[in-house]
Structure 1
Amino acid sequence: MRDLLKATVLMTLAVATGPIASVTKVQAADVTTFSITIRNVSGATTLALPDGNATSAPIAPGLYAVVRGEAKLFTPNQAAGHSLESLAEDGDAAALLAAIKHMDGVVAADMFAPGLPLTVKAEPGDRLVFGSMFVQSNDKFFATDSEGIDLFEGQYPVAGDLTSKVVLWDAGTEKDEAPGAGPNQAPRQAGPNTGPDEHGVIRAADDGFAYPAVSDVIQLTVRPQGVKSKLGS
């Protein structure tokens, strides 16, 4: 009788509470370490000048970030903030770096020097963004598109030369002059932030002047360490 009562109680509890939920342990996504290099590849005659001569096309030290979710470095067709203006006009990335470090979705961010490899850690869903001034200009900068470059295809990290995903942008903050010749461009201006304002918006560079191909100025390579990857196109 006692055993029957015990069994009845257990059955009643099972009906009242429903089946006990099973707990599934989900394995966290593997973190991959990437070696990333952003280098200047221009030569002494890469940039054609209005007087028929030519010169090199350096890029400035810039900033990079690993982001996820809605985080981004800038939004096209909107006015640039003062921090992006400083990067695009004067090659000064400090203010923009300070700003993005406090943004939601920024996993890591720091400065980079052109040609020196940098190391980042990322997991599926993370993206790379960066910005670097095209020095022989009023307010042009190289960057990924606004969303950034996916560092994974599915679970596979990307690898290879990803320069095709780099864009020359116009910050829309200073009136444009012929690249390599304008008196208000960083190599020739009297001081930072001295050119006439443009009051425009961020857009892909298209101001009527001739610029070298992106791949003639900058190269972006991404190499995951110690894992199987998918090569970048």
Structure 2
Amino acid sequence: MREIVKVTTLMTLAVATGAIASATKVQAADATAFSITIRNVSGAITLALPDGKATSAPIAPGLYAVVRGDAKLFTPNEAAGHSLESLAEDGDAAALLAAIKYIDGVVTADVFAPGLPLTVKAQPGDRFVFASMFVQSNDKFVATDSNGIDLFEGQDSIAGDLTSKVVLWDAGTEKGEAPGAGPNQAPRQAGPNTGPDERGVVRAADDGFTYPAISDVIQLTVLPRGVKSKSGS
């Protein structure tokens, strides 16, 4: 547990100090502002371990973007690439953030820390995407589907808990071990990029191991500015 906290704390400090640069493009004056929060909701016994014990299943600070057109963070059934590999294996969003700056259709992109609200501006047709390492794994990450979440239905902005649209993905870059127990997973490995290569493709996680339900790990809420959630936040 101490090692997990150390990993996630260092990443959060990098976000807070601006060690990872953001990529932002000009927004239209009439765009709608959204408040989006990606929370880690796992508890001390969320993830069952092979020895019968249990532990937490945190997510790492990750990357988000507003995109339009054909822009994506990744494509299922294709190789992940080094930048997504770094995020999925080590929780490092810097390379992916640098890479998407050059993708046509990326409106804005930046890093996020779980639990801290972020604000984006979007127009009808824009979509929200994000990706964050599932820390207790070799190369799993939580993200929207590859197309992202439409922020509008027609001309109307969406609002609410959209956790059901989050997926646990396998980057296909490192051979999997039992979640929360593998020696080549970030909380226990000797250093970044440790573990046998898989040379697979990005796909929904289905490697024979048992993972918690997404709703036990993460909560995604999207609210247009001025709209209150049921909890009043």
Other-structure match for 2:57: 57
Distance (Å, rounded) in 1 between the aligned partners of 2:198 and 2:75? 18
Distance (Å, rounded) in 2 between the aligned partners of 1:159 and 1:29? 21
SS at structure 1 position matched to 2:159: strand
Other-structure match for 1:133: 133
Q: Is the 8 A contact 1:140 1:169 kept in 2?
A: yes
Distance (Å, rounded) in 1 between the aligned partners of 2:150 and 2:30? 16
Other-structure match for 2:100: 100
TM-score between both structures, scaled by the size of structure 2: 0.84
- Residues 129-149 of structure 1 show CA distances to partners (whole Å, capped at 9, x for unaligned) of 000000000000000000000
Other-structure match for 1:143: 143
Distance (Å, rounded) in 2 between the aligned partners of 1:196 and 1:163? 32
SS at structure 2 position matched to 1:200: coil
SS at structure 2 position matched to 1:120: strand
- Identity among equivalent positions (%) equals 88
SS at structure 1 position matched to 2:36: strand
Query: Aligned letter for 1:170?
Result: D
Other-structure match for 2:185: 185
Other-structure match for 2:152: 152
Other-structure match for 2:220: 220
SS at structure 2 position matched to 1:72: coil
Which consecutive segments of 4 or more residues in structure 1 shift more than 4 A? none
Other-structure match for 1:109: 109
Q: Is the 8 A contact 1:64 1:109 kept in 2?
A: yes
Other-structure match for 1:36: 36
Distance (Å, rounded) in 2 between the aligned partners of 1:29 and 1:203? 38
Structure 1 unaligned regions, length at least 5: 1-27, 228-233
Query: Aligned letter for 1:166?
Result: V
- Residues 202-231 of structure 1 show CA distances to partners (whole Å, capped at 9, x for unaligned) of 00000000000000000000010147xxxx
SS at structure 2 position matched to 1:95: helix
Aligned-pair CA distance for 1:181? 0.1
Distance (Å, rounded) in 1 between the aligned partners of 2:224 and 2:54? 37
Structure 2 unaligned regions, length at least 5: 1-27, 228-233
Aligned-pair CA distance for 1:30? 3.6
Distance (Å, rounded) in 1 between the aligned partners of 2:160 and 2:101? 27
Query: Aligned letter for 2:73?
Result: L
Distance (Å, rounded) in 1 between the aligned partners of 2:48 and 2:177? 14
Distance (Å, rounded) in 1 between the aligned partners of 2:130 and 2:226? 24
Query: Aligned letter for 1:33?
Result: A
Which has the larger displacement, 217-226 or 133-142?
Answer: 217-226
Distance (Å, rounded) in 2 between the aligned partners of 1:226 and 1:35? 9
Distance (Å, rounded) in 2 between the aligned partners of 1:48 and 1:225? 38
SS at structure 1 position matched to 2:35: strand
Larger radius of gyration: 1
Other-structure match for 1:172: 172
User: How many aligned residue pairs are there?
Assistant: 201
Query: Aligned letter for 1:116?
Result: L
Query: Aligned letter for 1:200?
Result: G
Distance (Å, rounded) in 2 between the aligned partners of 1:159 and 1:205? 27
Distance (Å, rounded) in 2 between the aligned partners of 1:194 and 1:50? 21
